[in-house]
Amino acid sequence: MLAEIGHFALILALLVAAAQAVLPMLGAARGDAALMAFGRSAAACQAVLIAIAFASLMTLFGQADFSVALVANHSALSQPLPYRLAATWGNHEGSMLLWVLVLALYGAGIARFGDNLRTTLQARVLSVQAMISVAFLAFALFTSNPFARLSPAPLDGAELNPLLQDPGLVFHPPLLYLGYVGFSITFSFAVAALLDGRADPAWARWMRPWVLAAWVPLTCGITLGSFWAYYELGWGGWWFWDPVENASFMPWLLGTALLHSAIVTEKRGSLAGWTILLAILAFSLSLIGTFLVRSGILTSVHAFAVDPERGVFILAMIVGATGTALALFAARAPQMKSGALFGSISREAGLTVNNLLLMALTAVVFLGTFYPVIMEAVAPANKISVGPPYYNLVFVPLSVPLLLLVTAGPMLAWKRDDLATLARKLLWPAVVTAALLAGLVLALGWQQVVAALGLALGAWLVLGAGLVLARRWWSPNGFSLRLVRTTPAATIGLALAHAGIGFTTAGIAAMTSFAAEHILVMRPGETTSAGPLKLTMLGAEEVDGANYRALRARFAVRQNGSERILVSERRFYDNSRNQTTEAGIGVSLLGNQYVAIGDVQSDAKGQGLVVRLYWHPLVGWIWFGGLLMALGGAASLSDRRFRIGAPQSRAPLAPALVPAE
Amino acid sequence: MTRLLLALMLAPMLAIAAPAAAVLPDEMLPDPAQEHRARAISKDLRCVVCQNQSIDDSDAPLARDLRLLVREQIAKGKSDAEVRDYVVARYGNFVLLKPPVEGDTLLLWAGPFAVLILGAIGIALWQRRKPATSSADAPLSEAERAELDRLR
């Protein structure tokens, strides 16, 4: 019964979405307030219906109702309840349902928190949002119905690989979805602005919190994914340039660009066309992210559905949405005014360069990901691969100027500035960074100059973030608590996020240059070293676990006079005939000690265990930086200016006038 | 069937299963300098049966064969470039994780920089296209004028 209720709710949601896609748009064109108001009610109604469907499915998983095919295929009675519930979105059909749920919740958010929005704009945003909704609901209902019954119902379901039952898998996909789907709102805003014929500062201010609402969970999701890959896949990999990772990274890069270009549009009325273009592309890349995972085109380690039919549907959606939006852009953009001019040395110019570099970085990832597929189609005789060496060679040189700019940007004045003023403001961070660089080169030698540059770059970013706050908190009369209290949340967000990139940069630099490893055969009592680590194998024994047998080795790791005991296990699961390795990881502020055992092998001294010892310097900083960025985004999101409405008192600089509502 | 596929797809992700058995002590060259070179070359060669993994990271049997092949060539006294050419001659460009710069891959290597330059030109033209309009001389549309009148 519950399955039918869920299915019915989903069908109703599709019908509501279809009406919502048409009527408010009509209302906006005719100036019919009733039709426009319908959009708000429909959005709320749609969200409630999809929530009912989702709750039904989750309850079915909770009840272990194996008469539903999806439940039977993806959960078993032996699975702990939290993982049975998480299985709701741990599969294709359920994850599509989660996708439309998030989509509808964002839509309801626009209806609920969009009180200060221009009514025609709100109506059009809701309409466009509903069009996306219709496409995805149809996709879910017609190609991947989560509520399909199974007869006869089995007594127990098929458990998913127990190794997948991991907290990382519970939170990683929903966070990414919040990000991907969040960019649907900015897409809707962009299309609505094109239809509305206005992209003014007020429009940008309305849109910006939604950009942040997508960017923050996406940042968290990517950070979590990277961390998960590190502790699950081991051997010090924290980013693999895997197509699926790239699929989440591209919308992130463009989303970051959008976040910054929307500031220019909000504050100065400039770059509106560019902002619209970015909003369209960010969502297209999010759709491509889904497409990559759903279709077999780019099979990678993450892909969990190989089904070309679904891929074609999503490809049609991408082409339809992007094509229509870009055509609309091409038709309307020439009529748009360019907004206020700015000098070549100004905050606007800085943010423009930021955008261009982020766009180029997105192009690196895009080309790297798709070039092999395109080559296969165009020149099948000359198949190529694109891997980490390509990205290191192209991505890094393009990101260094961007990172240098991050500290300079917030010091620039709007409209017009000059280099002398900028240099004066940046004097202290520059001196400190240069001193640090000199010290590092002296201490490490010239052969480590790249590492020194990377660490100094990290320091430059953190100092720059500190400078933003310092300039805000110190007046000519000295430090003022009042100034601290009145600092806008957005300024604190800026400082946190920029400091976050600094920590991530330092972590990457240290990991690239100072990571050490030693792979060898060891016997109890033997000692080896890697980087600053001294490792002694204390002993190895066989132990019995709940449903596995294991070979357990104990090690003592010494570093700077302190000693830690690390344990690594190799587990053999008789039932599933799986082998797993549990690494021993010693976490500290300055780096992780990582030891893992392998098979039994022989070397010159006889039989022993294969041991992999790694030193991962500052690796934790990479994820700490990611979290700081997300925290910064959240802080900006809490800024009260997003809640007090459009800038009505200030004369807009763009030609369009903000109506006094 | 679907589940089987699923399990197959997921297997590499759960490389916890056999975390990067990759390079093993018995493969290594006795000379640390040569071994160091072998590792560096291995990182740029693709395990052709894997998804996006270098032979240095992969525990597939074929990757091991390639690792041994690379070491064999190094032990024979071949230079890094000669070893790479030897592997490419056997497996084609597909085996290189860093594709060569040639006609077919020009767009791959130059594309990002082209985006940067074209984007800069585009924005510059856009900004020049129309002179700045300040709010003072932005004319109101009919509808806006009507709304303004209504509010007064």
Q: What is the pLDDT of residues B103-115, one digit of tens each?
A: 888 999 999 999 9
> Residue B4: what pLDDT?
35
Alpha-helical regions (H) of chain B:
2-13, 32-43, 61-75, 80-91, 106-129, 142-151
Interface of B with A in 3-42 (CB under 8 A): 3, 5-7, 9-10, 12-26, 28
**In Å, how far is B112's CA from the nearest CA of chain A?**
5
* Cβ contacts of B127 on chain A, cutoff 8 Å: 270, 338, 341-342
**In Å, how far is B76's CA from the nearest CA of chain A?**
22
> Residue A271: what pLDDT?
86
DSSP for A307-322? -HHHHHHHHHHHHHHH
A234 touches chain B (CB under 8 A): yes
One-letter amino acid of B62: L
Asked if residues A568 and A584 have their Cβ atoms less than 8 Å apart, the reply is yes
> Residue B143: what pLDDT?
67
User: How many residues comprise chain A?
Assistant: 661
Which of A363, A521, A583 is closest, CB to CB, to B112? A363
Judge residue A175's burial from the number of C-beta atoms within 10 Å of its C-beta, 0-12 exposed, 13-18 middle, 19 or more buried: buried
φ/ψ region of A159 (left if φ > 0, alpha if ψ in -120 to 50, else beta) reads beta
Domains in chain A, start-ordered, CATH in brackets?
A: 1-159 (1.20.120), 166-413 (no CATH), 516-621 (2.60.98)
Q: Give, in degrees to the nearest 5, the angle at Cα A155 between A150 and A160.
A: 80
Question: Across the strands, what pairs with A551?
Answer: A542, A570
Give the residue with greater pLDDT, A659 vs B27: B27
Q: Which of A633, A630, A625 is nearest to A212 (CA)?
A: A633
Give the residue with greater pLDDT, A18 vs B3: A18
- For the CA atoms of A368, A372, A377, A381, the dihedral, rounded to the nearest 10 degrees, stands at 140
DSSP for A563-629? EEEEEEEEEEETTTTEEEEEPEEEEETTEEEEEEEEEEEEETTEEEEEEEEEEEETHHHHHHHHHHH
Low-confidence ranges of chain A (pLDDT < 70): 159-166, 232-236, 291-308, 338, 575-578, 643-661
First to last CA, chain B: 71
Asked if residues A596 and A581 have their Cβ atoms less than 8 Å apart, the reply is yes
One-letter amino acid of A228: W
> Residue A300: what pLDDT?
42
Distance between CA atoms of B93 and B97, rounded to whole angstroms? 9
pLDDT confidence tier of residue B7, bands split at 50, 70 and 90? very low
First to last CA, chain A: 48
> Residue A624: what pLDDT?
96
Q: Give the residue carrying structure tokens 């239809």.
A: A195
- Whether the pLDDT of residue B14 is over 50: the answer is no
The answer to whether the Cα torsion of B120, B122, B126, B128 is positive or negative is positive
Judge residue A82's burial from the number of C-beta atoms within 10 Å of its C-beta, 0-12 exposed, 13-18 middle, 19 or more buried: exposed
Quickly name the fold that domain B15-98 has: Helicase, Ruva Protein; domain 3 (1.10.8)
Alpha-helical regions (H) of A64-166:
69-74, 81-86, 92-113, 119-143
Distance between CA atoms of A224 and A167, rounded to whole angstroms? 10
> Residue A270: what pLDDT?
85
> Residue A312: what pLDDT?
76
What pTM does this model have? 0.88
> Residue B16: what pLDDT?
36
Q: How many CB pairs under 8 A join A and B?
A: 203
> Residue B141: what pLDDT?
67
> Residue A576: what pLDDT?
63
Interface of A with B in 396-415 (CB under 8 A): 398
Residue ranges covered by each domain of chain B? 15-98, 102-130
Interface of A with B in 145-184 (CB under 8 A): 158, 161, 163-164
Q: What is the pLDDT of residues B126-135, one digit of tens each?
A: 777 655 444 4
> Residue A288: what pLDDT?
84
